[in-house]
Structures are given as C-alpha cells and as structure tokens.
Amino acid sequence: MRMNHFTAFALLTTAACVNLAGQVAEKANEGYKTKEDRERVAVNLGDPDRVERQKPVELLEAIGVTPGQTIGDIGTGVGFMLPYMADAIGPSGRVYAEDIQDDFLEKAQAVAAEHGLKNISFVKGDPNDVKLPENSLDLALILDVYHHINYPEATMASVYKALKPGGRLAVIDFYRSREHPSMSEERLKNHIRLDRDGFKAEIEAGGFNFDRTFDHLPYQYVLMFRK
Ligand SMILES: C[S@@+](CC[C@H](N)C(=O)[O-])C[C@H]1O[C@@H](n2cnc3c(N)ncnc32)[C@H](O)[C@@H]1O
C-alpha cells in the first residue's frame, strides 16, 4: 500500500498519542531511569529521618492493619515500610513486597534480613502487572507509588485481581496544591500528574468501591477503597 503524506502524518500522530496515553507517569519517573538515579532515590527512601516525616506506625494504624492480615506492598522501594508492616501483622500475617526494579528489591531484601523478618515474600512485577497471586490480599498498600505508575489501568486491574473479595486498597499520595517540606510548587505539579479527586476517579473506573479519605500528613492524603 502506498501512503500519501497525510496518511503518514495521521499514523505518526496516532502513534505518539497512544504512547503518551500509555506512559502517563514519564515526568515522575525521570529521576528513576538509571541505576545511579535509583541509588540517589534509595538514599532518600531509606533515610532514617523519614520515620519522622512519614510516620509509618500512625499510617498503618489509621488504615486499620491488624494481626494475621496479608498485605501487598505495591512498589516497596527499599522496603521502608516492611519492619512496620511485619510488626502490625505479626507472625501469622504475610507481606508480598513487590517492585518493578531489581535494585530496589535487593535493598528491600537486605532490610528484611537485617530486621530478621520471616514473613515477607519478594515479587518482581511488570510496569503493567503486579504479578501477585489471585485473591490473596486483605490489603494492597500503594504508598508514594500511584503517581509513578505508567499504566494505571492495567496495573490496577492486576491489583484488583490480587485482592480477596472485600479486600481493601489504600493509596497514599501527595496533594499537588499544598505546600510540601521538600518539593517546590513546580516540582509537585510536574511530579504528581493529578490531584486526589483525579486519582480517585481513575481508581473507581477500575471497579474499586470508594470507602473514605483522610489526611495523613498536612501534604499527604489516604484514599481507601474496597474490592
Ligand atoms: C517513591 S518510591 C516509593 C517506595 C515505597 N513505597 C516507599 O514509600 O518507600 C516509588 C516506587 O514505585 C515503584 N514503581 C514504579 N512504577 C511501578 C509499577 N508500575 N508497579 C510497581 N511499582 C512501581 C518504583 O520502582 C519505586 O520503588
């Protein structure tokens, strides 16, 4: 088939749009491309001062994590939350610590070993599939990760599948419009592609039932859903 200029232009434009629609979080992921980038991110994620900034114990309490639960830590990073989750679920619970980057998963494994955590399974996901066992989770926790997900529709469909019937989803993310202690207004706007209502609408469109929302920190909110 011979293409005229118009057809070629239309095809190229369509391809560009499909790509843009597919990878929605490119701006947020600019600083994650190389191993050196991720080394820098890892230092921040594992910074001991982060306990004061993130308040992990209070967060899990507010979400209602209880002993015996199975949790999916979607995008575990360097495993910052793992010791706190292990404490909250006790020896009869389990955490699936998932990430798409091998170097983060290795660091998370080292954190689990350092703390002697026995009930953590590590899972390498794909950018469009968390690859967790079906109907296995009481809770999927997505902390500072949703705005990094490039294929939210496919990824959240895989999270939905991994939840037990009635299982809960907690998405914790940053307000774009509220002052943040370490992100400038411009960086916030670039890094976080939608505000809370936008993320809520996307997640509801994937079949999750909205339950409630509350602020965890002055600049960070929690969205809770049910399967
Ligand atoms: C800002 S870090 C947060 C890490 C961790 N949740 C924490 O709070 O310490 C974002 C993480 O999301 C991961 N990530 C990005 N896209 C992902 C996807 N589609 N599925 C799972 N994890 C993803 C990154 O590899 C990175 O570890």
CATH code for the domain in which residue 75 is found: 3.40.50.150
Q: Quote the pLDDT of residue 13.
A: 41
Residue 181 has pLDDT above 50, yes or no: yes
Query: How far away, in angstroms, is 116 Cα from ligand 1 center?
Result: 23
Can you tell me the distance from the alpha carbon of 208 to that of 148, in angstroms, rounded to the nearest whole number? Answer: 19
For the Cβ of 77 lying below 6 angstroms from any atom of ligand 1, the answer is: yes
Domain membership of residue 178 (yes or no) is: yes
Query: How far away, in angstroms, is 179 Cα from ligand 1 center?
Result: 22
Q: Quote the pLDDT of residue 11.
A: 40
Query: How far away, in angstroms, is 118 Cα from ligand 1 center?
Result: 22
Number of structural domains the chain divides into? 1
Residue 163 has pLDDT above 60, yes or no: yes
For the Cβ of 152 lying below 6 angstroms from any atom of ligand 1, the answer is: no
Q: Quote the pLDDT of residue 177.
A: 86
Closest atom, ligand 1, to C-alpha of 45:
9
Q: Quote the pLDDT of residue 14.
A: 40
Domain membership of residue 6 (yes or no) is: no
Can you tell me the distance from the alpha carbon of 82 to that of 61, in angstroms, rounded to the nearest whole number? Answer: 14
β-pair type (163-174, 209-217): unpaired
Query: How far away, in angstroms, is 166 Cα from ligand 1 center?
Result: 24
Domain membership of residue 74 (yes or no) is: yes
Residue 143 has pLDDT above 50, yes or no: yes
**Residue (of 122, 101, 99, 93) closest to 110 by Cα position:** 122
- Name the residue at shortest CA distance from atom 14 of ligand 1: 75
For the Cβ of 72 lying below 6 angstroms from any atom of ligand 1, the answer is: no
Can you tell me the distance from the alpha carbon of 10 to that of 7, in angstroms, rounded to the nearest whole number? Answer: 5
Domain membership of residue 173 (yes or no) is: yes
66: its two tokens? 């209880």
Residue 18 has pLDDT above 70, yes or no: no
Query: Residue for token digits 């991110």?
Result: 41
For the Cβ of 80 lying below 6 angstroms from any atom of ligand 1, the answer is: yes
Residue 17 has pLDDT above 90, yes or no: no
What is the pTM assigned to this prediction? Answer: 0.91
Long-range contacts of 98-102 (CB under 8 A, 24+ apart): 98/72, 98/73, 98/74, 98/122, 98/123, 98/124, 98/125, 98/130, 98/131, 98/132, 99/75, 99/124, 99/125, 100/75, 100/124, 100/125, 100/126, 100/127, 101/32, 101/38
Domain membership of residue 220 (yes or no) is: yes
Domain membership of residue 18 (yes or no) is: no
What is the best residue among 105, 146, 148, 222 to mutate for testing ligand 1's pocket, by most ligand atoms within 8 Å of CB? 148
Q: Quote the pLDDT of residue 22.
A: 67
The whole domain housing 187 covers: 28-226
Domain membership of residue 152 (yes or no) is: yes
Domain membership of residue 137 (yes or no) is: yes
What is the best residue among 78, 85, 100 to mutate for testing ligand 1's pocket, by most ligand atoms within 8 Å of CB? 100
Query: How far away, in angstroms, is 101 Cα from ligand 1 center?
Result: 8
